[in-house]
Structure 1
């Protein structure tokens, strides 16, 4: 079965920007001591909310850019730079644009519902993932590629949900070193994809022609 290269690159970019492993590690930390049933409900609710946000950005992103008079080449350059910054953070073991700060972590540890904040946003549907959804939909040609991007969003969200359900086992299996290796490899892959978006944006810019 032949899989179009655009679908494969969409899967890699979404997987890296959503970050199921990183999400699972933070999820395990935030839900330590929480009953297993409640953790399952948090995982499915946060994944569903993040999926809705990503879907809205993927479908309505180009329309919103048009209302703001932002061309797709300009957004490709801006989005590529944003994703490249996230790639640098991942490669050099920084927290990344889709992670949460210590202050946000402290707020999340207070009593209350954490499905929306910080799990759905900014952990799963963070700035990098939202930018990636708009960029990937902006380069699609035809309903087959559109369907492919939407399917890859669904697949990555399903992997994220599965990772959160297995969060405790993943933390034990990978440890700090294993999670760090996954993060660095993801950063390298994302850097290449982000740079390609910048090149595509500059190549289709009117002032370069």
Structure 2
């Protein structure tokens, strides 16, 4: 077992692009405003556990419950689609009383951060890179996710209400495009 810096860098950058924690800042701020508090430690640990578990057991877990990867990806795309529509239209499709006291696990850790796109990417990385290098890449991304979540109040103050509204709409459209791309790439229409 050896650690390859090139592989670690590649895996880290691929996961960073797929997770897109910087692009998710408006969603995270919106969730924090709705539920009051995001437990950054809990969310980060959930992300780490979900990704490492899926790395080792992903295909087997999906097979046990009779799901294939495209079905899993489509389900994740629908959740992302709903979140995007809420951001763009400024509406809430789910009532606030249905929201838990903290949105740290659902929908933040899963499916927003460690969602279908991340999970399917992990399965494809497994065929190209050494497992220990993927684990290091996952860990580095989780640390970055933690730093963003821990500083979400500061980011909210920095951006201000106008900046947040602009970012929310812009990233809502980007999130909508990601949801549609994920949906289209996993359907055979």
TM-score range with shorter-chain normalisation?
A: 0.5 to 0.7
Matches within 5 A, 1:157-172: 157-172=146-161
8 Å CA contact 1:24–1:167 kept in 2: the answer is yes
Partners of 1:15 and 1:154 in 2: CA distance: 13
Moved more, 187-196 or 141-150: 187-196
Deviation at 1:29, TM superposition (A): 4.8
Partners of 1:145 and 1:195 in 2: CA distance: 27
Please say if 1:83 is aligned against 2:84. Answer: no
Q: How many residues align?
A: 172
Please, which of 12, 20, 26 is the counterpart of residue 21 of structure 1? 26
Deviation at 1:151, TM superposition (A): 1.9
Partner SS, residue 118 of structure 1: coil
TM-score normalized by structure 1?
0.61
Alignment RMSD: 3.8
Structure 2 match to 1:12: 17
User: Please, which runs of 5 or more residues in structure 2 have no aligned partner?
Assistant: none
Partner SS, residue 20 of structure 2: helix
Deviation at 1:68, TM superposition (A): 6.5
Q: Judging changes above 3 Å, is the alpha-carbon distance between structure 1 residues 67 and 125 closer, same or farther for their aligned structure 2 residues?
A: closer
Please say if 1:182 is aligned against 2:171. Answer: yes
Structure 2 match to 1:114: none
Please say if 1:104 is aligned against 2:89. Answer: no
Partners of 1:182 and 1:131 in 2: CA distance: 17
Q: Which 4+ residue blocks in structure 1 deviate beyond 6 angstroms?
A: none
Deviation at 1:175, TM superposition (A): 4.0
Structure 2 match to 1:137: 122
